[in-house]
Each structure stands twice: as structure tokens, then as C-alpha cells.
Copies of this chain bind each other. A is one copy, B any other.
Amino acid sequence: MTTTTLPAHDVKDLSLAPKGRLRIEWADRSMPVLALIRERFEREKPLQGVRLSGCLHVTTETGNLARTLKAGGAEVVLCASNPLSTQDDVAASLVADDGISVYAIKGEDNRTYYAHIRAALAFHPNVTMDDGADLVSSLLFIALGREDKLEPSLAAWVKALSAAERKAMLDAVIGGTEETTTGVIRLKAMETEGVLRFPVLAVNDAETKHFFDNRYGTGQSTVDGIVRATNLLLAGLNFVVAGYGWCGKGVAMRARGLGANVIVTEINPVKAIEAAMDGLRVLPMSEAAKIGDVFVTVTGNKSVLREEHFAVMKSGAVVANSGHFNVEIEIPALEKRAVSRRKIREFVEEFRLADGRALFLLGEGRLINLAAAEGHPASVMDMSFANQALGAEYMVKNHAGLGKKVHPIPTAIDAEIARLKLGAMGITIDRLTPEQERYLAGWEEGT
């Protein structure tokens, strides 16, 4: 389908659309659950007339989500949730082939990034779909009159709005959904502070999301990003993973699967013991920094790698981030120590220090799996985005009864997605016999 009139957009090059179309189609082969939802949405139009702004990584998988939302009747605006994660051919195809407004260019500067956020806000969405809570937090800053916290050009735009315009924009929102661990943490802080203005569904917390996307998805794509960026042989390297949550477990599992000697750093004793019993070394970062060959941060925290660590790293050490924001590595500290800086390969920057050591930063410290590779593979995003699509539908139908809080995805949705996915994978499992159901419900049978 090619629309005759293109929607409003800001993408790199519309001529990339045919390539993007094929890549979206390729991803779609691995997203059977989302395809089933799309078929139903096409028939039932549950999102008819809903304006939806998504601030997401504009990848082939997101392309299929956007197509699904549109099939359901929604008007969709997409902006990037990270300056380096956009796939320009996908952005082009969504505009040219699907008539979806996309504002996203790979490598865009900070001002452009926020100009794109602005477009998503100016659309007056009824539903926000966030990956890191940038839309919701922007709306809150506006609602709270805290334009000083916004990026300057975005702040200027807000200040120029009339009170009525602001109110219209804020009142339009009935609810949101959030994709990431990091975003959910931010939203819960908003909830705790009592400033959240509408219900948000924590898509991240669905079992069919974080068990798979955060573990298998982040795991493979992070080592993929590092290998694409560096072509290093991981076998035999000391590979330091900061954080042993679901993402960290995934990265550690895959780095080890490629032969690395994995070292974990943690702040949580339970996770630290888990890492040790998984056969990994657990060290404080001050010790790990001295022996690591490759470092990956996946903590959701900031300044996990900082000046004190750069001070003791081996020459040649490679540092990368796969957590949501680019604050996990304290890049300013690295810049401060560096006497020279150059790009040595795509996504590999060398920082030469005064003592002669060279440290290598990958992908500007942004999500390396999206910067240097293609993000999570489609087969896990299938489940994550099925949660997004069904979550949006649920929000539209149920927002009135939901408090201004962070809500879990209903377990029925989670279970249904698992069931569909299992079927699509061609796997049959057992069912409880009536006798077993009785047994599990009772307590009387013992030794």
C-alpha cells in the first residue's frame, strides 16, 4: 500500500522505504502473535479514533507494532526514544507505505531529538506509549509548570502555548503504557510523589515481556552489538557485566556462551550470590576495572563506570552500555581524562589518556544493541509488542476504572500471549488432568 498523500514526518530519506519495507516484512515472519492481533484489530477496530503517540526505538519490530495499532483504528505518531536507535529505512517505509507519522533520524542531535518529542506531544495523544518514560515525564513537567526541566527548545515551545492549549494537551491523555524497567522505576517514583496524572500499564512487568525480551533479547543483541562494533573474539576475554538483573543475566549468559570469562558487579547481595553460584566471578567494580577487557553496564543506574574506574583500566579496555539511558558510563569523566579522541571504527571511539593508555567507548555510551546492531530480535519483540498492543486496547476500554497509578498488565493478557506464542513455536504442552486439578486445589493429601 502506498498512500498518495504522505503524513507529516521527519525522516532521513524516503527513498529508503523499499528496503525498509522488506526488512519489516522479514521481521514480521518472526512475529506471529502480533500478526494474529493485527488480524483481529483489522476486523474489530478497537482503537478506532484513538490518537496514540509512541516514543519508541524505530526498528523493524516497532514498525510491525505501529502497523498493528493503525490496523486497530488508531492514528499513530512515532518519535525516537533514543538518538542512535532509529533504522532510517524503517522510518521511511512507515511514512511512505503505511501513512504513519514518524519523527526519527539515526544519529539526530539532542535538539532534533526533542523536536521530535515535541511533535509527539503536539499531536495531543489520548494514549502514550513510552520506552523510558520520556513522553510521560515531559507531560508531567508541563503539568507541574517545571519547564526548566525540559530541554530548552522544547521548553520554549511549551511556554509559547496558551493555557488552554496546554490544558487540552494534558486532558487529552487517558493513559499510557511503558516498555522498560527503567521507565517503570521512573513511573513508580512519580506515583510515590503523587504527581502521576493518568494510569500507566507496566508492559515491562508482564512475564511474557521481561522474562524473554530483557533476558534473551538483551542478551543476544548486546553481545551482537559489541561484536559488530569491534569484531573482537570474546573467547578468553574478561567480560565484566555490571548488574545481574534480567538484562544482566542475559548478557552474562551469552558472553559466557561465546567463551568469555564473565565477571559480575552488583549492589544487591542476593543477585551477587546468584552470579557466584552460576559459576561467575563477583567483584566490586574497583577490582573488576583492573582486569576487564570488555565492560557492559546494564543497571538502570548512573555513573556505574566513572573516573575512579577509568583510572585503573587496562589499555585497550572496551566500555559499552546496554542500559536504557546513556548515563551508566560517566562519559564526561572519560572526556576529561582524555588527551585525544578519535573514531577508529564505526561505533568505536578511542580515548587516549595522558598516561598513554587507550580506552574505547562503543556507540557513544548509548544502548549498544540498538546503536551497533539491530536491537532485540523480532521473535522476542513479538511478545513484548503483543503486550503493548493489547495493553493499549485494554487502556482504551478500561481507563475510567483505573487509578492514577502504575498498573500491571492483566494476567489474562499475559497468559493469552504465552499461549499464542507457544502455538506459533509449534510446541505442545501438557494439560492438567481433572485428578491433578483437584490435587493442586486441596491440602489433604500428604505423605
Contacts and interface: CB of A to CB of B under 8 A. Distances in A.
Given A113-B447, A273-B418, A265 B378 contact: no
Contacts of A267: 429-432
Which of A22, A257, A259, A446: most chain B CB closer than 10 A? A446
Nearest to A253: B259
Interface string A121-143: 00000000000111001000100
Identical chains in the assembly:
4
Contacts of A447: 81-83, 113, 132, 134, 325-326
A421 B273 contact: yes
A36 interface: no
Contacts of A303: 433, 435-436
19 contacts: A26-B230, A113-B447, A133-B446, A216-B235, A220-B235, A231-B377, A235-B276, A236-B279, A253-B259, A260-B279, A261-B279, A267-B429, A269-B419, A272-B422, A272-B429, A273-B425, A276-B425, A302-B445, A325-B447
A444 to B, nearest CB: 6
A22 B189 CA distance: 46
A429 B270 contact: no
A302 B137 contact: no
A99 to B, nearest CB: 23
Interface stretch (A6-14, A68-76, A207-215): A207-215
Contacts of A134: 446-447
Interface residues of A, number: 116
A343 B443 CA distance: 33
Which A-B residue pairs are the 7 nearest by beta carbons?
A257-B257, A233-B377, A269-B418, A186-B443, A189-B443, A235-B277, A236-B276
A227 B444 CA distance: 33
Interface in A367-397: 373-374, 376-380
Interface in A172-193: 185-187, 189-190, 193
A277 B212 contact: yes
A268 B227 CA distance: 30
A446 B186 contact: yes
A400 interface: no
A19 to B, nearest CB: 8
Given A257-B257, A257-B258, A303-B436, A235 B278 contact: yes
Nearest to A326: B447
Given A228-B228, A303-B435, 15 more contacts: A22-B344, A60-B231, A134-B446, A189-B442, A231-B374, A233-B376, A235-B278, A235-B279, A261-B281, A262-B279, A265-B430, A266-B430, A272-B418, A273-B421, A325-B445
A260 B379 CA distance: 13
A149 interface: yes
Interface in A335-389: 343-345, 348, 373-374, 376-380
Contacts of A446: 132-134, 137, 186, 325
Which of A132, A141, A422: most chain B CB closer than 10 A? A422
